[in-house]
Chain A
C-alpha cells in the first residue's frame, strides 16, 4: 500500500483515481490558494516520516524517562557529600566526575532532569490551563466579561516579566514553586490573547453556522469544531514554548531564584560550576548540554507539529 497521504497526492497533482479535482496546481493568480487542512488520520504517520521531528520526539521521551525513572537508578545520592573526592575527573567510580562538594555529577545531572524538565512541563501546563479557561471565556462570552479579561491582560503585558518575577520571589521567597507561579503569570496573558483570537476565528467559520442551523447546540459546536481546532494550534505553540520555559527556569535558578541548594537543577548547577570551571569544566558542560539537548528536542518536535499542520508544507513532502 502506498505510504503517501492522499492529501499529499492531491496537492502534488498526481492522478488519484476518479476524483481528481478540477483545479490542478495553483497558478499565481488563484485567489483561493491552498486549502486549509488538518489531516488527523495522517498526523501520526506524517510525524513518523518527519525526520527532525522524530528525533525531537525520541529525545524528549528519553529525557522524560530519565526524569521519571532515573533518580531511582542513580549510583549515588545526588546530595551526598564526599569531600575527599571533590572536583575529581571522570573515573570508574564517578563516570562524570564530582563537584566541589564531592557530589557525583552523573547522579546530580539525572536528578536535575525532573526538576528542570518537570518544572517546565508544569509551567506550560499551568499556562495552558489558565489561558484556555480565560481565553475561551473571553471569546465566547464577549461583552463585559471579554472586556474585563482583556484589560487585565493589557495591564499584565505592561509589566516587565523579569521585574515581576523578581518581585514575586522577593515577596514569597525563592523556591521552585514561586518560580512556577512567576513564570505562569508572565506567560499567560500572551496565551489568553491567542486563545481568544483563535476562539473568535473558529466561531465565525461557515461550517459552525451551518451546524447551528442544522440543530446543533452552542456547546456541541464548541466541542466538535472550535476546541479541536484551537487544541491543534495550541499543541504546536506549547511544545515550542517548552524549550523557552526550560530556559527561563534554568536562567532564574542560575541567579538563585529557583531551586535552592542542595537540590539539583541544571540551571543552578551551571551556577555552581562557574567558579570551578577552569579546574573541572564538566561541572558546567554537563548541565549545559542537558539543557541544550532538551530544548533542541522540544523545538524540533514543535517545528514538526507546525509543519504537519500546515497544508502547504505537506504539498511538497
Chain B
C-alpha cells in the first residue's frame, strides 16, 4: 500500500451531501493589504472528504487563502462560496494562544456546541466533550483543568478536540504542528489522520513543511507570491516537481531531511 492511498470513498459525504458539490470554493479571489497583494486571482475548490495541503514559503499567501476560505477575511475581488450550513473546525499554530486561559477544558471544548447545537442540554454537551477528548487521546483528563496545567502538545490536542466536537465537515488547520516538537507533532498528525478517516471530514491544511504534511493529504497545492503554481498529488510533486518554486521547495526539504529513517522493525531487541 502506497503511503498516499486514501480510504475508498462512499457515494455521499459525512453529512449526506453529494460528493460533486464542493464544500467551499474560491473563484478568482484576490486579496490586497494596502499595496501588498497577498492572493492573486486564486481559484480553488474543496470537495467533501478531500484532503488538501497548501504549501509554500512564508509570505506566499497560504494563510490568507485559509482565512478567506474560512470566512474570516473578505476578498478584495472574486467570490467565495461555502456550502449552506457548512460546519467548520479550525486549528491554529500556537496551541496555547488559541485557548482562552481563564476557561476550563469543558468550557473550551464545548464552546462550538453552544453556537451550533444550542438546544443541547448541559449533560449532553459534557458527554460530547468527553467523547471529543477521548478521540484525541485525552479521555482520562479532568474536565475542570485549565490550559496552563497542560503541555503544549496536550493543548494542541484540546484545540483539535474543540475543532471536532461539533462534527465539522471541513477541518482547517494553519501550521498545526509547527510549534510542536517532532515527536509530539507526529502524534498530532496521526490523530488528525485517524479522526478524519473516522468522521469523513475534509481537510485544508497549511504547512511550510512539505514532508510533514505529505502523508496526510491526497492533494498538494503550491503557492508562491499569492498564486497557485502547482497542484497535484504529493507523490507526484515530491518525485517529479515541475514548477521551479516546487523544485526549490522539494530540494530544500530534502536538504533538511535525514536520509535514513529507521523503522520500528529495526529496533534491536537482541543483538
Binding site for B on A (CB under 8 A): 6-7, 10-11, 16, 19-23, 32, 35-41, 205-207, 209-217, 220, 224-225, 228-229, 311
- Chain A hits for B70, CB < 8 A: 213
| Known interface pairs A216-B112, A217-B115; 8 further A-B residue pairs with C-beta atoms within 8 A, sorted by A's residue number | A6-B145, A7-B146, A20-B151, A21-B150, A22-B181, A206-B92, A207-B100, A220-B115
Are A7 and B116 closer than 8 Å at their CB atoms? Answer: no
Known A10-B149, A39-B102; judge A207-B116 contact (CB<8 A).
Answer: no
Known A210-B162, A213-B172, A214-B166; judge A19-B101 contact (CB<8 A).
Answer: no
User: Which chain A residue shows the least CB distance to B142?
Assistant: A19
22 contacts between A and B (CB under 8 A): A7-B146, A7-B148, A16-B149, A19-B141, A19-B154, A20-B151, A21-B151, A22-B181, A35-B96, A35-B148, A37-B101, A38-B101, A39-B146, A41-B104, A207-B100, A211-B112, A213-B71, A213-B90, A214-B88, A214-B112, A216-B115, A311-B148
**For chain B residues 125-177, which have a beta carbon within 8 Å of chain A?**
141, 144-154, 159, 162-163, 166, 172
Interface membership of B87, Cβ < 8 A: yes
Are B102 and A38 closer than 8 Å at their CB atoms? Answer: yes
Interface membership of B111, Cβ < 8 A: yes
- Chain B hits for A311, CB < 8 A: 148
A67 to chain B, nearest CB (A): 33
Contact of B116 among A10, A32, A214 (CB under 8 A): A214
A209 to chain B, nearest CB (A): 6
Interface membership of B99, Cβ < 8 A: yes
- Chain B hits for A41, CB < 8 A: 104, 144
Interface membership of B72, Cβ < 8 A: yes
User: Which chain A residue shows the least CB distance to B150?
Assistant: A19
B47 to chain A, nearest CB (A): 20
Interface membership of B98, Cβ < 8 A: yes
User: Which chain B residue shows the least CB distance to A228?
Assistant: B102
Contact of A36 among B101, B114, B151, B154 (CB under 8 A): B101
In the bound assembly, the distance between CA atoms of A16 and B146 in angstroms comes to: 13
Interface membership of B225, Cβ < 8 A: no
B239 to chain A, nearest CB (A): 35
Are A215 and B148 closer than 8 Å at their CB atoms? Answer: no
Interface size class of B (residues with CB under 8 A): 35 or more
In the bound assembly, the distance between CA atoms of A209 and B92 in angstroms comes to: 10
- Chain A hits for B88, CB < 8 A: 213-214
Are A210 and B96 closer than 8 Å at their CB atoms? Answer: no
Are B96 and A32 closer than 8 Å at their CB atoms? Answer: yes
Interface membership of B200, Cβ < 8 A: no
B70 to chain A, nearest CB (A): 5
Interface membership of B256, Cβ < 8 A: no
- Chain A hits for B149, CB < 8 A: 6-7, 10, 16, 19, 21
User: Which chain B residue shows the least CB distance to A35?
Assistant: B148
- Chain B hits for A209, CB < 8 A: 72, 90, 92
A247 to chain B, nearest CB (A): 33
Are A206 and B97 closer than 8 Å at their CB atoms? Answer: yes
Are A22 and B102 closer than 8 Å at their CB atoms? Answer: no
In the bound assembly, the distance between CA atoms of A21 and B151 in angstroms comes to: 4
Known A19-B154, A23-B152, A214-B115; judge A206-B145 contact (CB<8 A).
Answer: no
- Chain B hits for A213, CB < 8 A: 70-72, 88-90, 172
A183 to chain B, nearest CB (A): 32
Contact of A205 among B97, B146, B147 (CB under 8 A): B97
Interface centre among A22, A40, A205 (most CB of B within 10 A): A22
In the bound assembly, the distance between CA atoms of A20 and B148 in angstroms comes to: 10
In the bound assembly, the distance between CA atoms of A205 and B141 in angstroms comes to: 26
